[in-house]
Each structure stands twice: as structure tokens, then as C-alpha cells.
Amino acid sequence: MREKEIIEKMQNAGKITEDEAKKLLKSLEQSYNGHQEEEKTRNNQQKEAEQKTVIKNDLKHSSKEKQQKSGGNLGDIVAGLLKNVFSFNNSSGPEFKFEEELQGEFTAEQIDIFVKNTNVSLTLKSWENNYFKIEANLVVSAPDREQAEAVKTQSYFIEKKEDSLHIETKEKIKKGNIIIFLPGQNKYNFNLKNVNGKIAMENLIAEENNLKTTNGSLQVKQVKAVKQDLKSTNGSIVFSGEGTNISAKTTNGSIKFKPTFEKNSEMNIKTVNGSIKVLLSDESNFFLDLQTVNGSLICDLANYEFIKKEKKRLKKHYILKREIATAKQGKNENINLSAKNVNGSIKISENRA
């Protein structure tokens, strides 16, 4: 079992403690044992269902075996390993696919969006229509179609009000994706949480944007919010957008940042195992505090000065600033950015595009 070897090497290298290694090994063993038992039960139920001709063309069963890739940085290895361990699903039986669609209108100008998903990816997009639309594709495992329908009904929940939308999927949904199209003229407060699935957003305006994933990436493109709080455990974060207070933190994964600001802003970026890349406007004034333990610090910027430059074997710490007197009126960005990681490089570059 290659995952066991990876865990032992990480322990021997001091990347994880002995207790953490034991927990990972125990979870890994339970996952593999459960998967074998699930596969046996699934095969028996499939044979019985075929004999009774109950499921007919509704049956859509696959038995693809996932293989853990070797190589890459520590963050990618740990994220992939933990995803294999914790994404194990106890549902058994053949798979049934359900396609759901819902449309509606909000009467308020500012809308609260709450989503809590398990095993489902989530995408939110802006469009020009004055109504919202939800497209859901969900997969459920059950002995037959009727029981799968019952599981789906109990595990997929939507509540719509004039000023809010609440969506929840539970762990009995084996996999799936949900796409939400939202009117571009509204402002929103987002509170989105995913377990075993990514969150993607594009071209939206919000007062607050709070996103959290476990075993899934965050992809935020051209989203404007006063406050943005992006958190992931075992997933990368890619961000472009605007805000006065932005925080991005992940445990095992890289972070790529491309902010576009026209006013003072605070940014806090942190990862344990993964690289950090930030693109800043060439017209911005900034104060940067950059720290890494096992990695390099690269500042591909012009016209800056060091306040502190500390380089030790187990720590690198740069503090630098830039003040541009010739910045265009009204476009002078003042950015305070803190970027920290343990294992991985930090690179700050100018966005010359």
C-alpha cells in the first residue's frame, strides 16, 4: 500500500507527528476495508437486481479504481492522501442519476445565500436575467430507483424566501454538482460550506463572501466584496477580485492571488504545505510582510525598499514597502499584505497584463 509508505516517510522526515501518523494509518485501513466490503455488497445487489429486471436502463454502475499519484510537493501528497481516506462513502448499490431544476425571483435587493454540501461541487455565476436558476445533478446509490428517489428527497433540501436562499445536501448523496445562476444586479451575502467538493464563483458582488471547503478547492474569479474569508483544508485557492479585507488560508494546497483594488486593503494569506503566488498592480503602494520556514521568498517587483531582510536556515522573513508618488489620481492602491507558509515558496510579482 503506497499510502502507508508515504505516511511513514512523512513521519520519519518530521513532517507529521507519531500520533498524526497513527491516525492516518488507522483511517486509511478503515477506508480500504470498508471499500472492499462495499464492493462485495454492491456486486451481490447488482446481480440480484439484474435477475429481477428491476433497474433495467436506470442502472448506471461504475467500478473505477482510484490510484494515488506519487511525486509533487508535500501539500499535494497530503491532500490527495487525505481525500482518499475521508471521501469514503457508506452508500451501497447501483448508482442512479437525478437532474433537478428550480427557478425563482428575489424581491429584496440584498440576498443571503446559504449552502452546505457533502460530496457535491458547487458553482455560482452571475447572469443578466432578473430571476435565479438552480441546476442540480445528483447521484445516489440504492438497491432500486424507488429507494434512490427516497434517499434523494431526504438528502437534498432547498428553501427560498424573498431575501434568502438555503441549499443543503447530505452525505447520502454519493456525488454530484450544483450550478446556481444569480441576477447580476443584486448584492449578496454568501455563506458556503463544502465537504468533498470544490466551490467556484464568478462575476458576483457581495457585502460578505465566506467560503469554506474540506477536501476541495476554492476558485473565485472577479468577485467583489467588502470582506472575503476563504478557507480550505486539503485544497488549493485561486482568487481574483476586490475587497478591503481579504483572508485566504489553506492547510494543504497552493494559493494564487490576483487582487484588483482601488482603495486601501488588507490581505492575509497563509498555507502550511503549499506555494503562494501574488500578482500586484504596478501602480500600487504596498507594505508586505512575507515569512516562510522551508521555502524561498521571491519579490519580482520594482521600486521597493526593504525594512527587514532576514534569511536563516529554517526561516526567511522579508518586510518591504513601496510608495509611488506618480500613481494616477484615484487609482493609488494602498495594500497591506501578510503572506506566511511553512513548506513552500512565496512569490510576489507585478501584474503587467
Tens of pLDDT, residue by residue over 140-182, are 999 999 999 999 999 999 999 999 999 999 999 999 999 999 9
Residue 205 lies in a domain: no
Report CA 156 to chain centroid distance, whole Å.
21
Q: Residue-wise over 32-63: b if at least 16 C-beta within 10 A, else e?
A: beeeeebeeebeebbeebeeeeebeeebeeee
Residue 87 lies in a domain: yes
**pLDDT, tens digit, for every residue of 85-139?**
444 444 567 999 999 999 999 999 899 999 999 999 999 999 999 999 999 999 9
Residue 296 lies in a domain: yes
**pLDDT, tens digit, for every residue of 182-233?**
999 999 999 999 999 999 999 999 999 999 999 999 999 999 999 999 999 9
Closest to 193 measured CA to CA, from 142, 124, 118, 139? 118
Please identify, among 73, 95, 117, the residue that sits at the C-terminal boundary of a domain: 95
DSSP symbol at 214: E
Residue 187 lies in a domain: no
Q: Alpha helix locations (H) across the chain? A: 2-12, 18-52, 74-86, 145-155
Q: Which domain holds residue 17?
A: 2-95
Q: How far apart are CA 224 and CA 11, in angstroms?
A: 42
In sequence order, which residues have a C-beta less than 8 Å from that of residue 217 and are 6 or more positions away?
A: 198, 199, 232, 235, 236, 237, 238, 253
Please identify, among 41, 71, 95, the residue that sits at the C-terminal boundary of a domain: 95
Closest to 189 measured CA to CA, from 256, 106, 257, 100? 106
Residue 113 lies in a domain: no
Residue 255 pairs in a beta bridge with 237, 276
Number of alpha helices (DSSP H) and beta strands (DSSP E) in the chain: 4, 21
Please identify, among 95, 121, 136, the residue that sits at the C-terminal boundary of a domain: 95
Q: What is the number of alpha carbons within 13 Å of residue 135 lying toward its C-beta?
A: 6
Do the Cβ atoms of 90 and 170 come closer than 8 Å? no
Residue 30 lies in a domain: yes
For the chain, what is the domain count? 2
Which residue has cell 452571475? 126
**pLDDT, tens digit, for every residue of 34-55?**
555 555 555 665 555 555 443 3
Distance between start and end Cα atoms, the chain: 46
pLDDT at 60 over 50: no
Residue 259 lies in a domain: yes
Residue 197 lies in a domain: no
